[in-house]
Structure formats: structure tokens, C-alpha cells
Amino acid sequence: MPTVNRSSRGQAPGFIFAAVFQNKFFTTPLVGQGGPMILDNQGRYVWLQRAKASAPDTLNLQVQRYQGKPVLTFWDGTVKNTGEMLGTWHVLNDRYKEIAKLTSANGWDPSGHEFFVEGGDSLLEAALRAGLALDYGCSIGNCGQCRARIVSGQVQKIRHADYALTAAEKTAGVVLMCSNTAVTDLVIEAHEAGMAKFVPAFQALYDSMSDAQKKTADAMFSRKVRTSAAKKST
């Protein structure tokens, strides 16, 4: 059984959200119960959903908003040791009843992440600050690597430098995340950065690759995600 350490002093109030899955580089079976769980300050279960044998890996249990109401979301499925993920996002209401399921469609994976855009921050700045590994390069509107399609919502340009985009992309709602901020809540489609260049263990190897090898490595590890950005008034 795993050990749960409890602290009685200096502990922040509130519940602990966890989604447990086995380290992919271990070959021994997972010990204990996997699945999304909420624990109180004493380490006691408030809620637990046991992981299914067909979807043993669970991730990102968190509170988000869906159709204007707070909901609980988590992902379950399988994660390979290359980082490749195959699974489903679940949306639960305030009675832990599943009210929506999101799976991949048309080559896009739901990211399950939400980030806040403060004041006139660019979408890119806000996403990176929130820890999303979205793809980008120059940050000043030149390279076009931060292109994203706005699925819903409204953006405003903060930098008039979108010549990296084709006319067809602009018509399709593609924008540069480094050059736009959010006016309303948004849903965007973007490329999540390739794992190869962002994982420290791969860094030296990646730096020594030719451009063609880097392109192949990025393609192996990158994925296309749909994520949402919420505009925060300041």
C-alpha cells in the first residue's frame, strides 16, 4: 500500500484532487487503486472513480466550466511511454454524473485544458504562463509557428504582423497566438509542441539532429489539440 503523509499544521484548507496512473517506465504492476479521486485534508476519500481495465491511465482531474456551470473533468485511456495518448475526456456535473464525453475527431484531440487571458496579454503569453506546451517560435509575429484556428469566440490583434498567414488561413479563422488577445471566451485549435525538444532528457539529442531529423522527431511527438481560453476582465 502507498503511504499517505498527513500534515496537521500549515496545511492549506480544501480538497486534494488526484488522478493516478503508473509511471510508464516501470514494468511492475501499479500498486493501489488507480483513477481520479478527491481526498479531504485527512487523506480520506471524498470521491473516487476506479480506473477501468480498458482505460487504466487517468489524468488532469480539475474543475472547469461547461455551458456556464462548474464541472469536474478528467481524462482516461492509455498513455504510451512515448507520450502518445489514446482516450476520452469526461465531464461530470455537481452530483458526479457524467454529462458529456469528448473524444478525438478529425485528427484533433480535446486538450482538456483551459487558461485565462489577463488584460491585453497575447494568447501565447497566457497559454505558456498556464503551462500549456503550445508550439511557437519568434513570439513577434514573424515565424508563423504559433498559428491557431479560432473555433469560437472573438480575438483582437495586438500586433499587426500576420503576413506569415495565407489568405486561405485567414479566411478559415487562423490567427497568430503571439499577435492576438481574447475579447471573449474562446475555443482554439493549435499544435501542442513536440515533446522531443521540450523534455530535458531529449534536449541534447535533439540539438544534435539535422533539420530533417528534428522535423521527424517533432512530427512523432506533436499532436493537434483543441483547448479553451477564458477572457478575464482586469
22 binds ligand FES (CB under 6 A): no
142 binds ligand FES (CB under 6 A): yes
C-alpha 138/C-alpha 49 separation (Å) is: 43
Site for ligand FES, residues 36 to 75, rule: CB under 6 A: none
51 or 193, CB closer to ligand FES? Answer: 193
C-alpha 177/C-alpha 184 separation (Å) is: 15
C-alpha 192/C-alpha 195 separation (Å) is: 9
3-state secondary structure of 79: strand
What minimum distance in Å lies between the beta carbon of 38 and ligand FES? 38
Taking CB under 6 A as the criterion, the residue among 34, 36, 112, 141 binding ligand FES is: 141
Taking CB under 6 A as the criterion, the residue among 73, 139, 180, 181 binding ligand FES is: 139
What minimum distance in Å lies between the beta carbon of 92 and ligand FES? 36
What minimum distance in Å lies between the beta carbon of 141 and ligand FES? 5
Taking CB under 6 A as the criterion, the residue among 58, 145, 180, 227 binding ligand FES is: 145
**Secondary structure of 134-192 as H, E, C letters:** ECCCCCCCCCCCCEEEEEECCEEECCCCCCCCCHHHHHCCEEEHHHEEECCCEEEEEEE
Site for ligand FES, residues 160 to 199, rule: CB under 6 A: 164, 176, 178
Burial label for 60, CB within 10 Å (0-12, 13-18, 19+), is middle
Number of residues forming the site for ligand FES (CB under 6 A): 13
Other Cβ atoms within 10 Å of 62 Cβ, number = 15
144 binds ligand FES (CB under 6 A): yes
77 or 141, CB closer to ligand FES? Answer: 141
Q: Which residue stretch of 141-149, 150-158, 182-190, 202-210 sits at the interface with ligand FES (rule: CB under 6 A)?
A: 141-149
C-alpha 225/C-alpha 93 separation (Å) is: 24
196: left (phi over 0), alpha (psi -120 to 50) or beta: alpha
117 binds ligand FES (CB under 6 A): no
130 or 138, CB closer to ligand FES? Answer: 138
- 35: CB partners within 8 A, 6+ apart: 19, 20, 48, 49, 50, 51, 58, 76
71 or 132, CB closer to ligand FES? Answer: 132
* Contact positions vs ligand FES (CB under 6 A): 136-139, 141-146, 164, 176, 178
